[in-house]
Structure formats: structure tokens, C-alpha cells
Amino acid sequence: MGKIIVMTSGKGGVGKTTSSAAFATGLALRGFKTVVIDFDVGLRNLDLIMGCERRVVFDFINVINGEAKLSQALIKDKRIDNLSILPTSQTRDKDALTREGVEKVLNELSKDFDYIVCDSPAGIERGALMALYFADHAVIVTNPEVSSVRDSDRILGVLASRSRRAEQGLEPVTQQLLLTRYDPERVERGEMLKVDDVLEILAIPLLGVIPESQAVLRASNVGMPVILDEASNAGQAYLDSVSRFLGEDVEHRFVTPQKKGLFSRLLRRSA
Amino acid sequence: MAAVSSARQGADRDGPFQLRGNSFTMMVLKVNDPASPDFFTQLAVKVRQAPNFFRNAPVVLDFEELTEDTPRFDIAALVTNLRALYLLPVGFRGGPRPVHEGALAAGLTPMPAGRAAKLESAATPAADPQAGAAPIPAPPPEPIYRPALLVTEPVRSGQQIYAEKTDLVITAPVSPGAEVVADGNIHVYGALRGRALAGVSGDTNARIFCHSLEAEVVSVAGLYRVSEDFGNDVLKKPVQIFLRDGYLHMEPQ
């Protein structure tokens, strides 16, 4: 049986899709059969980030409505064998997601895949609820600023009350924090919340801290999950996070400003 | 959820008095045969069994069993004798007209007829004078016990928890944007960052306790204070919040 992971945040624009793409790719790199599903019906983005937008014929909603078979809608990643993408519809809206339909698709996927990564839309409405309802694990994507933290807190409350595991009284959904767009220098200047500030409010384990990085935008534009850019901080931070997700003990990096080299220190002194 | 009013606080607290409704539990002494020579001796035996329980206890005299045919008796003397046993008759109910008038003349308040709680059975052993040899302390009337509502998970933004007719105990933080509400006290063994409303049904004795006060709003029995008005002596400190003299007090612990 595959494990269902939801990438969620409440707030928009914090990096759910980037993280979903990176995380699913990371799990596939580690040898797990992984599929990543776009739940943002009507605002289809995941296919762009994954670089498969020109191969979309059928989508998630077609499968829910019985207009296509799952195998027709699944897109195999060209770079990594174990990775598939289930894109969503750009023309429909969130009402197309029915609980029975989503359940049917997830059940079918969990027979073949080890991990099913659900890329949630923003908000706490139908799309987000459907993305998190069947989850076994939740990765809460949060930026180090107060509104994102508050919305993440809200979504944690929703997970604890309106997920399938909560409604059926099963073991609760495990929750981990992925702190994205973290800029240690701005944190040091007091312009951003510290990791500890966020953890104090959300009170869930830290899965990883992804530093603010130009590599993310660069990767998005070329349709490559940033985790494949192993030279970048962000890529390395996602690799670390995947390792931690799989239970490995990896030290957190990129949480303090990088030591200034002799050259930049000299420059600063003369300035 | 709570009827929060600061206007009321302003109207009442400056005046020389406050008028408020309240309800009290009182013993009812059912008077079946006031002329019986054993009336006070048996009552004295009963009182001796639980002297602390009966001492200065307010009592309502129940004359409902009496009829027009009941021989006349001196109500003022009855009151005096009861006081000698450290019972404080405060009211009466029922009884034929002459008794009614006598009770009013003796300064007792007519009470509405009601259903008695089963206090009598709690002190029943006293009815048997032989069993009365070994004093058994009569337990006070059992309060109807409602266990506190215990919450062990963090209370998240947007969540609302209401402890109806009881206390609320939270062993986790309360997030900004969350609301915790109780008819009784609220205890937060963690940071209180949301809204906390205690005594929402009007219990002015309710209190709020928290490990770290970072709340948005706190309220006891409708009197509230917003975080803007918290002093630095209480902010982010363990604090107890309660009403005294119509004011909301916040005391660092």
C-alpha cells in the first residue's frame, strides 16, 4: 500500500508546488515508485514545474469522471524512471473533485506506487480539503513570516479535525514542517522570523529549511525540479529533507548566514 | 460567543452598590409537627452529628404539611430555638394563612414552592437515636460533578473549544486566532496566544491561568481586555487573571 503525502500550507505562493515536485523527485531518486498529483484544479502548475506540460492529454479530472483510464492520464517522467505525474484540469474548477472520485484514484495509485504526493491548492476550501483528506503524512510548507505561519496553523487544525484519519478516529496524520524561502541574513537583521519562532507557534517537527535561492526560479522556468540542481543550496536542502523524511538523521544546514570569506570581509572593511 | 460588555463594567463599578441575581443552595427544614415535644431534642441530635455542616446554615422552613387544623404554635419561638441550634431560618414556604402571617411577622421571607433535593437522606442515620451514639459526619450535599474538559493537542488558529458548565484544561499551546471558552476556569499549560473567555455564563469567580500570556483577548464573565492593554509585567509571563471588585486583574505568578 502506498503512503499518501499532502503538501499543504493554507497560504498561497509559499512553495507548495515547488516542494511537491522536488519532494516527489527526491523520493523517486531514492528508488521509491512515486507519483505526484496536482489538486489545484483550474490553476494547473505542477506540469510546468515538472516540465511535462506538452505531454498532457488526459488529466486527474478525466479519470475521476471516468473519461479516461488512470494509465492514460499518468505521465512518466523522462529523467527518472520511478516518477510519474498526474496533472489536473485547467478548464474545470474544484467542484470537479468528489470524495468518491479522489478515493477511487488514490486507491488505484496506492496499489502501484510507494508514495503518492498530493500538491494541495491554497486555501481551506474544497480543493485543499480533498488534497489532505486521505493523507497519511502532511508536509506543512511555511514561509518565515507571520501570515504564512498563521495560515499553516489553521491548516494543521483542519488536518486534526477534517482528515479521514481524524474523522474515523485512526492514528492522526503525521505532520512535519518545511520552512521555505528562508533567508538567514534577513533573519539575523530581524526582518524574518527565526526557525525557532515558527516552531514555537506551530509545535510540529521540522523536516527541513529550504533557503531562499535563485536556483528555484531558474529551475521552475526550465521545468526541472530544483532538487535535481544539486549544486544549489535549495536542491541540497530538499535532498536533506527527503532523507529526514525517510528517517535518516541529517543535520540542518543553511539556517545561519554563511561565513564571509576573507575577500568579502576586506571589501566590507574598506567600504 | 460570550456576551462581552465593557459598558456594564463602567456602569456598575463606580456606584456604591451593585445589584445582581444569584442562586444559592439552602437546606429546607420540613416542619411536620411543630408541637411535638421531641421536635428540638431530635433536631439537636441530628445537628450534633455534623456540627460544622449545620453551623450557621441558612434554613428554609417548609410548612406545606401543616393544615388549618394544626394547633397554633409560636413561630417566633420556633425561630429562636432554631437559632439556639446555630441554624439560621431565613425563609419559609407553604402553610395555612395564620402560619403564613406568623412567619412573615417573625421576619421570614416567603420562598417559592420548589422541589427539595435529597439532603434528608444524606443525614438519615440520625433518625435512629441508637445509631446516633457514634457521630457520623454527614457529607455536604454532593455537587453535581462535571469533569474538566482536557485538551492535550495544540489548539490551532480557527479552532474553537467550549467547555460547557465546566473547566477547560489545555496542556498544549493555544495559537493566535484560536478561541478557548469555558463556563468555568481556563488553564493553559503552555503559551496562550489566542482568545480566552472564562466564566462566559456569568461566573465572576472564574479565572484564567496560563504559562505564558501572549493572548489576543482575555475575558472573565464578560469583562475583557485586549492585548494592546497588557502591561509588560504580565506579557509572556505566567499569569493568573480574575475579577476583583468589578475589575479584571492580571497577576504575574
> CA A7, CA A29: separation in Å to the nearest integer?
19
> CA A185, CA A268: separation in Å to the nearest integer?
15
Judging contacts by C-beta atoms under 8 Å, the chain B residues touching residue A158 are 158
Query: What would the grid cell of residue B99 be?
Result: 402560619
Average pLDDT over residues A22-46: 97
- Residue B41, pLDDT score: 87
- Cell 468518491: give the residue: A100
> CA B172, CA B191: separation in Å to the nearest integer?
8
Average pLDDT over residues A223-230: 96
Average pLDDT over residues A200-215: 96
pLDDT higher for B10 or A254? A254
Are the C-beta atoms of residues B221 and B242 closer than 8 Å to each other? no
Query: What would the grid cell of residue A194 be?
Result: 527565526
% of chain B beyond a pLDDT of 70 = 82
Question: Are A156 and B156 an interchain contact pair (Cβ–Cβ within 8 Å)?
Answer: yes
Query: What would the grid cell of residue A162 be?
Result: 477534517
- Residue B46, pLDDT score: 84
> Which of B153, B157, B171 is the best mutation test for A, with the most CBs of A within 10 A?
B157
> CA A234, CA A133: separation in Å to the nearest integer?
29
End-to-end alpha carbon distance in chain B: 28
Query: Which residues 43-102 of A have a C-beta within 8 angstroms of B?
Result: none
- Most confident range, picked from B46-60, B120-134, B237-251: B237-251
Are the C-beta atoms of residues A165 and A126 closer than 8 Å to each other? no
- Residue B127, pLDDT score: 43
Q: Is the pLDDT of residue A108 over 50?
A: yes
Question: Are A153 and B157 an interchain contact pair (Cβ–Cβ within 8 Å)?
Answer: yes
Cα angle: B245, vertex B248, B253; to 5 degrees: 110
Question: pLDDT-derived band of residue B100, with 50, 70 and 90 as boundaries?
Answer: confident
Query: What would the grid cell of residue A144 be?
Result: 518565515
Are the C-beta atoms of residues A67 and A58 closer than 8 Å to each other? yes
% of chain A beyond a pLDDT of 90 = 91
- Cell 531562499: give the residue: A212
Judging contacts by C-beta atoms under 8 Å, the chain A residues touching residue B193 are 201
Q: Is the pLDDT of residue B124 over 70?
A: no
Q: What strands, in cross-sheet order, belong to the sheet with B223-226?
A: B160-163, B179-182, B195-198, B217-220, B223-226
Q: Is the pLDDT of residue A181 over 70?
A: yes
Count Cα atoms within 13 angstroms, Cβ side, for B212.
Answer: 13
Are the C-beta atoms of residues B49 and B123 closer than 8 Å to each other? yes
Average pLDDT over residues A239-257: 95
Q: Is the pLDDT of residue B242 over 90?
A: yes
> CA B163, CA B180: separation in Å to the nearest integer?
8
Strands B195-198 and B57-62: unpaired
pLDDT higher for A271 or A163? A163
Helix, strand, or coil (residue A63): helix
Residue A13, annotated as binding a ligand: yes
For all residues of chain A together, what is the average pLDDT?
Answer: 94
Any idea what DSSP says for residue B235? B
Q: Is the pLDDT of residue B1 over 60?
A: no
Model confidence pLDDT, tens digit, residues B214-223: 999 999 999 9
pLDDT higher for A56 or B37? A56
Judging contacts by C-beta atoms under 8 Å, the chain A residues touching residue B159 are 157, 161
Examine the predicted complex and report whether its ipTM is higher than 0.90. Answer: no
Helix, strand, or coil (residue B136): coil
The amino acid that residue B243 corresponds to is: L
The 3-state DSSP composition of chain A as helix, strand, coil percent (nearest 5) reads 45, 15, 40
Query: What would the grid cell of residue B98 be?
Result: 395564620
Model confidence pLDDT, tens digit, residues A109-156: 999 999 999 999 999 999 999 999 999 999 999 999 999 999 999 999
DSSP for B142-157 reads PP---PPEEE-SPBPT
Q: What are phi and psi of B17, to 5 degrees?
A: -150, 170
- Residue A261, pLDDT score: 65
- Residue A267, pLDDT score: 61
Q: Is the pLDDT of residue B126 over 70?
A: no
CA dihedral sign of residues A88, A89, A92, A97: negative
Model confidence pLDDT, tens digit, residues B81-98: 888 888 889 998 888 888
Average pLDDT over residues A75-102: 94
- Residue B130, pLDDT score: 47
> CA B242, CA B250: separation in Å to the nearest integer?
7
- Residue B86, pLDDT score: 86
Question: Are B159 and A201 an interchain contact pair (Cβ–Cβ within 8 Å)?
Answer: no
Is the model's pTM score more than 0.90? no
Interface check A201 vs B, CB under 8 A: yes
Model confidence pLDDT, tens digit, residues B133-173: 455 666 666 666 789 999 999 999 989 999 999 999 999 99
CA dihedral sign of residues B104, B109, B115, B120: negative
CA of A142 vs chain B CAs: smallest distance (Å): 15
Question: Are B154 and A156 an interchain contact pair (Cβ–Cβ within 8 Å)?
Answer: yes
Are the C-beta atoms of residues A37 and A212 closer than 8 Å to each other? no
- Residue B121, pLDDT score: 44
The least confident of A22-36, A94-108, B54-68, B158-172 is B54-68
Q: Is the pLDDT of residue A178 over 90?
A: yes
Average pLDDT over residues B228-249: 94
> Which of A201, A202, A204 is the best mutation test for B, with the most CBs of B within 10 A?
A201
Of B186, B217, B184, nearest to B203 by C-alpha is: B184
- Residue B111, pLDDT score: 83
Interface check A151 vs B, CB under 8 A: yes
Question: pLDDT-derived band of residue B12, with 50, 70 and 90 as boundaries?
Answer: low
- Residue B8, pLDDT score: 44
Interface check A157 vs B, CB under 8 A: yes
- Residue B96, pLDDT score: 84
Query: What would the grid cell of residue A32 be?
Result: 521509491
Return all residues near A100 (Cβ < 8 A) that are at least 6 apart.
Answer: none
Any idea what DSSP says for residue A125? S
Q: Is the pLDDT of residue A161 over 50?
A: yes
> CA B167, CA B163: separation in Å to the nearest integer?
6
Return all residues near B139 (Cβ < 8 A) that are at least 6 apart.
Answer: B122
Question: pLDDT-derived band of residue A227, with 50, 70 and 90 as boundaries?
Answer: very high
